[in-house]
């Protein structure tokens, strides 16, 4: 029955319209730096869904910044529910070497800000529900499209879904995986280390305390002591732990002893660790150095800007029905399947941890292109993503 329905529904997949929709979404600025990044694109998606006869809502989440939600199916069986989730915001466009909103298609690729991250996926998800609606397929359960706000910063759109629903059984997040199946990823915490020294004239450095020199001690200890511990921690779904020294700034000018130095760290952690333990290890490194050097003074803080939020890992077991269905769909549509972990962080961990939704990541495009100065996505990926989403809805909601 699934195969018969799939063949019929795929006839409703208008490839030209999917790409036209992607072009339109790219053309609507939704990048951070705007006052209401998702306002224009959210309103467009809502109107598009309504015009296609789908039940759609604009749901205020943060002031006038709204999630867009649409559903299709009877909803008779709560166990047969699937959410297709994607974020409508993008990173800024200042670094781009191409017109971020022109959506040029060349050599099988579509270019523009959000092509890979993740307006191609949004177009594929919307088109999957539209195809089901056009064919009039009956579902015992219900399939949802959720376009959310604020993924690139504080995941407020996904947090709203996790708290307020819909409480689906399964979810697919459309981040760019090259259509590979990603059943997990690491947690994330950003840590800032601020070393306080003592300013003095560069001609009399003995009167000061050089914060850059003190920070160098901390960096050396992190590399020699903490790195070896972290790289040996791994998880079969998320992959290994990691620590990246991402940003450093110290001093004011060459002729002044640096009175302050700031280091910002990206720490990726796995199940078995926690945000608290990841931060604590950095503090312990510094405490050990301070005991040997009383002139070293450093503060460690989590860079959450006082919001008290966490970025947990995502784990979806490979033997789950969701992963099995994505394998089947990938083979049906692309002739291949590949399972791995997503190297970045996604809304999926919030849907999973706070919403209790079994979640995986699969979408068109590649992460290497996301946020880049020439962002692009393979056109064929977007079309095939729509077909895999349709197959998943039929299997999980039918």
User: What gap in Å lies between CA 56 and CA 53, rounded to an integer?
Assistant: 9
Helix, strand, coil shares, percent, the chain, to 5: 35, 25, 35
Cα distances (Å, whole numbers) of residue 3 to 132, 261, 385, 386, 392:
14, 62, 17, 16, 12
For residue 233, give the DSSP letter.
-
Q: Is 151 a catalytic residue?
A: yes
Q: Is 293 a catalytic residue?
A: no
Assigned token pair, 339 = 């399972």
User: What gap in Å lies between CA 361 and CA 83, rounded to an integer?
Assistant: 12
Catalytic residue among 38, 151, 281, 381: 151
User: What gap in Å lies between CA 298 and CA 260, rounded to an integer?
Assistant: 10
Pair 231, 241: CB distance under 8 Å: yes
User: What gap in Å lies between CA 110 and CA 88, rounded to an integer?
Assistant: 17
Q: Which residues are CB-contacts of 398 (< 8 A; sequence separation ≥ 6)?
A: 1, 2, 5, 80, 137, 139, 140, 141
Q: ∠ CA 91-96-101 to the nearest 5 degrees?
A: 75
User: What gap in Å lies between CA 128 and CA 382, rounded to an integer?
Assistant: 11
End-to-end Cα separation, the chain, in angstroms: 10
β-sheet bridge partners, residue 244: 266
The tally of CA atoms less than 13 A away on the side-chain side of residue 175 is 25
User: What gap in Å lies between CA 373 and CA 8, rounded to an integer?
Assistant: 40
- Supply the Cα-derived Rg of the chain in whole angstroms: 24
**CA 83 to centroid of chain Cα atoms:** 16
Catalytic residue among 38, 89, 175, 375: 89
Pairing mode, strands 81-87 and 142-148: parallel
Q: Which residues are catalytic?
A: 89, 151
């Amino acid at each position: 029955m699934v195969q018969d329905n799939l063949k019929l529904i795929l006839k409703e997949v208008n490839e030209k319209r999917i790409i036209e929709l992607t072009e339109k979404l790219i053309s609507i600025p939704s990048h951070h730096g705007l006052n209401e990044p998702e306002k224009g694109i959210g309103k467009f998606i809502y109107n598009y869904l309504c015009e296609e006869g789908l039940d759609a809502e604009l749901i205020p989440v943060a002031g006038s910044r709204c999630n867009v939600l649409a559903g299709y199916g009877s909803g008779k069986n709560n166990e047969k529910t699937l959410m297709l989730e994607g974020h409508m915001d993008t990173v800024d466009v200042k670094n781009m070497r191409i017109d971020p909103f022109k959506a040029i298609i060349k050599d099988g690729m579509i270019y523009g800000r959000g092509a890979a991250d993740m307006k191609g996926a949004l177009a594929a998800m919307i088109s999957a529900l539209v195809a089901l609606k056009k064919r009039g397929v009956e579902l015992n359960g219900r399939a949802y499209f959720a376009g959310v706000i604020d993924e690139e910063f504080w995941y407020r759109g996904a947090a709203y879904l996790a708290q307020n629903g819909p409480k689906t059984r399964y979810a697919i997040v459309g981040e760019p995986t090259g259509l590979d199946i990603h059943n997990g990823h690491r947690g994330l915490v950003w840590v800032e280390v601020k070393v306080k020294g003592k300013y003095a004239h560069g001609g009399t450095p003995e009167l000061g305390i050089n914060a850059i020199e003190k920070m160098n001690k901390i960096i050396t200890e992190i590399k020699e002591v903490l790195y070896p511990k972290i790289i040996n921690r791994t998880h079969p779904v998320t992959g290994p732990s990691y620590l990246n020294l991402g940003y450093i700034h110290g001093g004011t000018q060459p002729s002044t002893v640096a009175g302050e130095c700031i280091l910002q760290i990206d720490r990726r952690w796995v199940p078995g660790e926690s945000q608290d333990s990841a931060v604590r290890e950095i503090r312990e490194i510094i405490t050990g150095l301070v005991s040997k050097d009383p002139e070293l003074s450093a503060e460690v803080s989590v860079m959450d800007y006082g919001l008290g939020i966490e970025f947990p890992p995502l784990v979806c077991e490979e033997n789950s029905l969701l992963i099995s269905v994505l394998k089947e769909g990938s083979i049906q549509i692309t002739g291949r399947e590949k399972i791995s972990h997503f190297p970045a962080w996604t809304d999926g961990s919030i849907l999973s941890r706070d919403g209790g939704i079994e979640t995986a990541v699969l979408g068109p495009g590649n992460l290497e292109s996301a946020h880049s100065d020439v962002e692009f996505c393979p056109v064929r990926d977007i079309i095939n993503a729509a077909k895999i989403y349709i197959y998943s809805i039929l299997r999980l909601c039918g």
